[in-house]
């Protein structure tokens, strides 16, 4: 089933500033410099983040002259919804365009109980257009790096999806296009705006940031105002294998990465998630299972086994061409081995296979 959203939320290039990218103190400074009272900043944040105003004219608790001034200086929405694709499993993939006509995507994933009722809704959002990391198993990396997203462009993915679906997102995962910790300042600011008590969008404990392992930034993130849950895109238990499938691992080896992970846990006391795609004959041996056990037991954590989604449409070469998914029975044996050592394990299935919901696919086709 396909649904297309034609010309909704269309954004044109603008020299205006994005108001959702401003920290509270910056908004206060702007207002006071314009001769306005500080409390107006609280009203504006409430209108944008709680009432979800999409136009300054809707902010009727503000005086008319202030609404006019804000509209002249700021944009309130920063991305455009280009396309929406709905899967038979209930997941929905959204394609957004930026003001400069670069593309990003987000994927909505509903988690239902045995009665078919949605108990939890998760939105996977992007932090970049394209990605500079170049993991062998990811289609997005073939785009190369296009741009870092602003805080507003990160936040607007959530707001537009909630408006489109008429539902409340109660889990956010920064696992879409891009490496969040290579867009550190904008990502941290977006999380701060979402988790702040003034905006009441979502708790930081309902936000998960997935990283390929930028060790210095992991340590820095531990001291941010609202540190999120941390997911490590691990995928290998030796430096040699990890370097082969994740080029960025050459800059941050497993030793430095694990030291950073332990540091993060000690300062946040939040369990770590390890993401692991089992590849046939590459990272799925009994020895890999034992090394993965040791990694997972260093701090309280869980392991998510993720299926390898087909990226043949990218015409992969080299290492990417060699990658094949591990047989399900081998994955099950590794999972059972970890569970026998009291490690929490989840073997994931893919949402939205019928709509090419693997990261980067839709944006890739539109970009090219």
Which residue in 82, 83, 105, 153 is the catalytic one? Answer: 105
105 catalytic residue (yes or no): yes
Tokens in use for 115?
């009665």
Q: How far apart are CA 60 and CA 46, in angstroms?
A: 12
First to last CA, the chain: 23
In angstroms, the CA 284 to CA 337 distance is 12
Confirm if 94 and 160 have CB atoms less than 8 A apart.
yes
Interatomic CA distance for residues 128 and 148, integer angstroms: 5
Task: Identify any residues that bridge with 345 across adjacent strands, giving them in sequence order.
Answer: 303
57 neighbors 65 (Cβ within 8 angstroms): no
**Cβ atoms within 10 A of the Cβ of 17, count?**
15
Strands 17-18 and 74-75: parallel
Catalytic residue among 124, 131, 135, 359: 359
Alpha helices in the chain, H assignment, sequence order? 24-33, 39-45, 64-73, 151-165, 184-195, 215-221, 239-245, 254-268, 286-296, 319-322, 328-339, 361-367
Token pair in block for residue 193: 């705006």
Number of other CB atoms surrounding residue 31 within 10 Å: 19
- Counting beta carbons within 10 angstroms of the beta carbon of residue 215, is it exposed (0 to 12), middle (13 to 18) or buried (19 or more)? buried
Distance between CA atoms of residues 116 and 328, nearest Å:
26
As annotated, the active-site residues are 105, 359
């Amino acid at each position: 089933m396909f649904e297309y959203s034609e010309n909704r939320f269309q954004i044109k290039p603008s020299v205006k500033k994005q108001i959702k990218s401003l920290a509270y103190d910056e908004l206060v400074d702007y207002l006071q410099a314009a001769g306005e009272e500080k409390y107006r900043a609280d009203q504006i944040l409430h209108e944008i983040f709680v009432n979800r105003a999409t136009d300054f004219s809707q902010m009727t608790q503000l005086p008319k002259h202030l609404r006019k001034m804000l509209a002249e200086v700021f944009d309130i929405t920063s991305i455009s919804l280009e396309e929406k694709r709905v899967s038979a499993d209930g997941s929905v993939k959204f394609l957004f365009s930026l003001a400069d006509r670069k593309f990003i995507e987000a994927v909505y994933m509903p988690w239902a109980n045995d009665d078919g009722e949605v108990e939890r809704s998760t939105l996977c959002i992007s932090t970049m257009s394209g990605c500079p990391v170049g993991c062998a198993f990811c289609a997005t990396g073939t785009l190369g790096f296009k741009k870092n997203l602003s805080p507003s462009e990160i936040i607007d993915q959530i707001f537009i999806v909630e408006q489109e679906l008429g539902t409340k997102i109660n889990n956010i995962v920064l696992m879409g296009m891009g490496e969040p910790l290579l867009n550190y300042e904008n990502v941290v600011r977006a999380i701060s705006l979402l988790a702040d008590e003034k905006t009441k969008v979502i708790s930081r404990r309902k936000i998960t940031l997935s990283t390929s392992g930028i060790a210095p930034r992991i340590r820095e993130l531990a001291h941010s105002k609202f540190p999120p849950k941390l997911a490590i895109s691990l995928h290998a238990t030796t430096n040699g294998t990890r370097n082969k499938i994740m080029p960025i691992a050459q800059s941050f080896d497993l030793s430095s990465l694990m030291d950073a992970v332990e540091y993060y846990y000690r300062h946040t006391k939040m369990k770590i998630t390890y993401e692991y795609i089992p590849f046939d004959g590459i990272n799925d041996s009994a020895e890999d299972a034992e090394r993965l056990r040791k990694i997972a037991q260093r701090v309280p954590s869980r392991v998510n086994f993720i299926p390898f989604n087909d990226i043949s449409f990218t015409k992969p070469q080299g290492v990417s061409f060699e990658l094949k998914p591990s047989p399900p029975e081998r994955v099950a044996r590794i999972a059972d081995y970890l569970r026998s050592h009291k490690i929490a394990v989840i073997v994931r299935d893919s949402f939205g296979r019928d709509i090419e919901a693997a990261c980067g696919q839709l944006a890739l086709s539109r970009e090219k």
